[in-house]
Structures are given as C-alpha cells and as structure tokens.
Amino acid sequence: MAWFHGASRQLEIRTRATVDTLVTDPFRYLLAEPDRTLPYAYPPDVGERLRSYRREPDAAHASVRAIAVEAASASDRSQAGFPFTLARQIHRDFTLEDRPEGAPLSPEQTVARGAGACRDLAVLFVECCRAMGLAARFVSGYAYTDDVTPAEMHAWGEVYLAGGGWRGYDPSRGLAAGDQHVTLAAAADPVDAAPVVGTFRGDEVNSRLETELTMRAVPTSPPIPDGS
C-alpha cells in the first residue's frame, strides 16, 4: 500500500525476483478416488472447504456446458484426464487474441466469438471445470518461453483434484502448467487475481499504465550425487 504526502505525477513499481519452479512433471500425483468419474462430487468436508471455487453444474451457460461435456466424453469422464483434454480442446478450437486491456469476457461471450485473450480462455476453462463439478480458480502470472519477444502477463486455470491438489492447465497453449509457469495470484474470481490494484482521486486527472517485463532462465548446477 502506498500513500503520498502531497500531489504526485506518477507511481513506479519495480520488482526483481529469482524464482525456483519445481513442477517438472505436472502429472506426478495419485488421485484419492481414481475410479470416480465426472461429474465429480467431493467428500463433504473437502467440498465445504472448496465452496468458493465451485458452482452448481447446471448453473453454467448451455454453450459452456456443451464444451465441458465434449471434453468429458473425449476423456472417458476421467477426472484426471478431463482438465488436460479440455485445455487442448480450447487451444484447438479458439483463436488466441492479444487484448492487453479490459476485464475478461464472460465464458459465453468467448464461446460466441470463438476467440479470446489468455484471460478469456482461462475463465472459459475454469467455468467448464465447474460445470463438471470440479473446483477451479483463475491464475495470473508469467509463462516463460524461449521466444525473443517481450514477455507479458499471462493467465491460466487451476483445478482441484482430490489427492493431487491444485493443478494448473494453460488453455492458451494447450498444456499442463509446469516449471515454465510462475504464479503471482490465484482466486475464484479474476478480479481478485490482479497483481497490482489501486484507486486515485483528483480533478481532471486520468491514468495510464505502462509495463515492461523481462524474463530469463538462470543456469543451475547439476545436483551432486550422493556419496561423493
């Protein structure tokens, strides 16, 4: 939180961090109930803890539910296979757009347009998971690539698998989130996952946001074998 003593023309935030990303295998987990199929019902105590991340399956818009049903059928209604299948399906069927400003579109708007920014596709992924009874949340952060283009904020979704915990899936890229994804914030509602928020007061005042992001991989030393 920042407070100013008097008039100010700008606020500049600089952050530098070295991050260890340890999820080299995003599929390394064991489900608590591997034979349970979708739509999934959590044990009562788990379901209560996840209440803010869930919706009644019938609450989803018909167009959103149709996408969820298609992915469920393609994954044999497997709770582990469904999120990955869904992420690949959205990546295949929707055009990724560059829309640097504005709130995410509703999932039904994204379906109607057949296209969206990464945050729009993330919201669609989350709502499709909820339509199958799974707890899901919106994630904001960064995704590292070897591309030379400037890095930008990124968004994806996470789904809670009993026994596996929160697992990330990136529908913009059609893959499971792993060691190239850096999470900044996760929330049931995208508005609560913004890395920076604020308000200002003043007459004849407007605002402009400028960002610059640089990411690079830091070489690591190989582990020393035991007994050496």
Tens digits of pLDDT across the chain (228 residues): 777 787 778 888 888 888 888 888 999 999 988 888 999 999 999 999 999 999 998 899 999 999 999 999 999 999 999 999 999 999 999 999 999 888 999 999 999 999 999 999 999 999 999 999 999 999 999 998 776 555 789 999 999 999 999 999 999 999 999 999 999 999 999 999 988 877 777 677 777 777 777 888 877 766 556 554
Question: Helix, strand, coil proportions of the chain in percent (round to 5)?
Answer: 30, 15, 55
Q: String of b and e for 151-188 (b: at least 16 CB within 10 Å)?
A: bebbbbbbbbbbebebbbbbbbbbbbbbebbbbeebeb
Determine the Cα–Cα distance for residues 7 and 161; give it in Å rounded to an integer. Answer: 50
| Cβ pair 87, 65 in contact under 8 A | no
Please state which CATH class domain 44-193 belongs to: alpha beta
The model carries a pTM of: 0.87
Q: How many Cβ atoms sit within 10 Å of the Cβ of residue 3?
A: 4
What residue spans define the domains of the chain? 44-193
